[in-house]
Amino acid sequence: MSINFQSNKSTTKDNHLYTKFTYENSIVEKDAQGKFNVTPTAVDYEFKLDLKIPKVGLLLVGLGGNNGTTLMASILANKHQISFENKEGVVKPNYYGSVTQSSTIKIGVDKEGNDVYAPFNSIVPFVNPNDLVVDGWDISGLTLDKAMKRAKVLDVTLQKQLEQHLKDHKPMESIYYPDFIALNQGDRADNIFNKSANGEIKTDNKWSDVERIRKDIRDFKSKNNLDKVIVLWTANTERYAEVLPKVNDTADNLIEAIKSNHEEIAPSTVFAVASILEKIPYINGSPQNTFTPGVIELAEKYDSFIGGDDFKSGQTKIKSVLAQFLVDAGIKPISIASYNHLGNNDGYNLSSPRQFRSKEISKASVVDDMIESNSILYNKESGDKVDHCIVIKYVPAVGDSKVAMDEYYSELMLGGHNKISIHNVCEDSLLATPLIIDLVIVTEFLQRVQYKKDNESDYKDFYAVLTLLSYWLKAPLSRPGFKPINGLNKQRQALENLLRLLVGLPINNELRFEERLV
């Protein structure tokens, strides 16, 4: 779709889009009497967007898992226009579930005042997922055709058509530190480079592991003649790493801890550090605390983007909408009970208590900012909070079809109560894969955006922690000192408004004066 944005705020020069934007907000101060003093503010910025679309490579940690093989299959099916037939008829390839590929944005109203929408990826240039060059690491050495079959996600008639494209593709050797994932994953670990000739797992040279991964990244980039590379973790959930003084609390301590092979240096941390040192983005799609303070400081030091944590696909995405709805409506949720059972390898790994704890933490934080937004419903001084219970069970029979059951119990006026129960069955990897696509495409796009204040001469990149990725993540990583935003609508609005301001459109509002004023 071709769109001509006629705005006097934006100009195109030397394949770059330059846009002036005034950022308006309000600073609020509370005095000793509890009175709010609100002062409107305005700061003038100029944004610069590189319009050239680069050749991008994606390296997945966990390439041979359910998400990795489903991602490869989705790109190949769309790239080669592979249709298949199931019991409901012919299915044509698509990217349903992807915001960048299958959603729209309001760009204005027509002469009659009706809303007009355009595809999300038509506003500014984005990488086409069909053009992504994909590879990665996995502790399992199965070729991707066999790994796809093991995952049991896709229809068999589609798998058969994809076999020819996947049968010669084997993941690169990965690292395996047994203490960080469930012991039941040991049988899959036959494709690792940190082991001796006699098969002993070696965790006494973690800096060498960092250097090996850095070399893999450089070789991948060179071999495929890529402009950019992005690394994304979609492997097993690790246990939480302890945040310790002189270990992972600062960038320098982190590097020294890796070189001294400290036991609290996780595989995901090794991948993150290797990516940061190569100055390429690293995204954490699992709930473990990969981004300790030392990793964040290292990303700041090397001006390398990071984003996380944990894909927000089904139950949590609904929770971030429903909890916001209840609180915004003045209804007080007093308990949220969430039960899940799933039968894929993710569920198998999460059956271990320490790995489940990582997932429990990422799921629990999703309602925090909504509670804090309403001091009428929740009194901080009295410790008012939501009783939030989360249960995950491994049930092999359900496979990749995750079953989620939630009960929202809320207080109404004058002692009344409201109970909302939701039963949600979702095909886990077919929800997560479009999130991976969006995270990669938006991350690359954000690398092409720079800004400066009106009185500055040099353009800057966004801050290292890409909070604009929060829409796709359960426990969004925030800049130190700032609280994360979990409300799904707020997260989506931020993305839309960034695209709008870059092409010179006003940020979105629903005042609809065309309809409401005489």
- Residue 56 is predicted with a pLDDT of 98
pLDDT for 445 equals: 98
In the chain, what are the domain boundaries?
Answer: 57-311+430-498, 315-428
pLDDT tens, per residue, the chain with 518 residues: 678 898 999 999 999 999 999 999 999 998 988 899 999 999 999 999 999 999 999 999 999 999 999 999 999 999 999 999 998 999 999 999 999 999 999 999 998 889 999 999 999 999 999 999 999 999 999 999 999 999 999 999 999 999 999 999 999 999 999 988 877 787 888 999 988 878 788 889 999 999 999 999 999 999 999 999 999 999 988 988 999 999 999 999 999 999 999 999 999 999 999 999 999 999 999 989 999 999 999 999 999 999 988 899 877 888 888 988 999 999 999 999 988 888 777 766 666 667 767 666 666 677 888 888 898 999 877 778 889 888 888 888 888 888 889 999 999 999 999 999 999 888 889 999 999 999 999 999 999 999 999 989 999 999 999 999 999 998 899 999 998 888 889 999 999 999 999 999 999 888 888 888 87
Do 315 and 286 form a contact (C-beta atoms < 8 A)?
Answer: no
Q: What is the CA radius of gyration of the chain?
A: 24
Q: Is 259 a catalytic residue?
A: no
Does the active-site annotation cover 111? no
What is the enclosing helix (H) or strand (E) of 105?
strand 104-109
Q: What is the pLDDT of residues 191-228, one digit of tens each?
A: 999 888 787 888 899 999 999 999 999 999 999 999 99
Q: Please report the DSSP string for 327-377 in residue order.
A: HHTT-EEEEEEEEEEE-SHHHHHHTSHHHHHHHHHHHHGGGHHHHHT-TTT
Candidates 310, 369, 400, 406; catalytic one? 310
pLDDT at 129: 98
Tell me phi and psi for residue 405, to 5 degrees: -125, 125
Q: Which fold has domain 315-428?
A: Dihydrodipicolinate Reductase; domain 2 (3.30.360)
Contact 293, 272 (CB under 8 A): no
Q: How far is the C-alpha of 414 from the C-alpha of 371, rounded, in Å?
A: 20
Q: What is the pLDDT of residue 275?
A: 98
Provide the residue count of the chain.
Answer: 518
| Angstrom distance (rounded) from CA 73 to CA 79 | 10
Per-residue pLDDT, 92: 96
Active site residue 310: yes
As beta bridge partners, residue 105 has 118
| Closest among 336, 308, 507 to 419, alpha carbons compared | 336
CA 492/CA 476 separation, integer angstroms: 13
**Crossing angle for the helix pair 251-259 and 267-277, nearest 10 degrees?**
120
Helix or strand holding residue 460 (H, E): strand 460-461
Longest dimension (CA), the chain: 83
Residue 351 has a pLDDT of: 65
136 pairs with which residues across the strands? 60
Q: Running DSSP on this structure, what letter comes out for residue 463?
A: P
> For strand 401-411 and strand 417-427, is the pairing parallel, antiparallel, or unpaired?
antiparallel
What pLDDT score does 356 carry? Answer: 62
Active site residue 368: no
The pLDDT score that the predictor gives to residue 394 is: 86
For 295-347, write each residue's pLDDT tens digit. Answer: 999 999 999 999 988 899 877 888 888 988 999 999 999 999 988 888 777 76
Sign of the alpha-carbon torsion through 7, 463, 472, 23? negative
Q: What is the pLDDT of residue 89?
A: 94
The per-residue pLDDT for 482 is 92
Active-site pick, 135, 170, 402, 438: 402
Burial class (CB in 10 A: 0-12, 13-18, 19+), 480: exposed
Residue 53 phi, psi dihedral angles, 5° rounding: -90, 120
pLDDT value of position 359: 60
CB 65 within 8 A of CB 185: no
Rounded Cα distance between 410 and 386, Å, is: 10
d(CA 73, CA 78): 8
Contact in structure between 494 and 488 (CB atoms under 8 Å):
no
- Phi, psi (rounded to 5 degrees) for 71: -65, -50
Sort strands 172-173 and 133-138 into parallel, antiparallel or unpaired. parallel
The closest alpha carbon to 401, from 380, 372, 377, 424, belongs to 424
Provide the β-strand partners of residue 201.
195
Q: State the pLDDT at residue 369.
A: 81
pLDDT of residue 161: 97
Question: Which fold does the domain 57-311+430-498 belong to in CATH?
Answer: Rossmann fold (3.40.50)
User: Which of 221, 332, 359, 363 does the annotation list as catalytic?
Assistant: 359
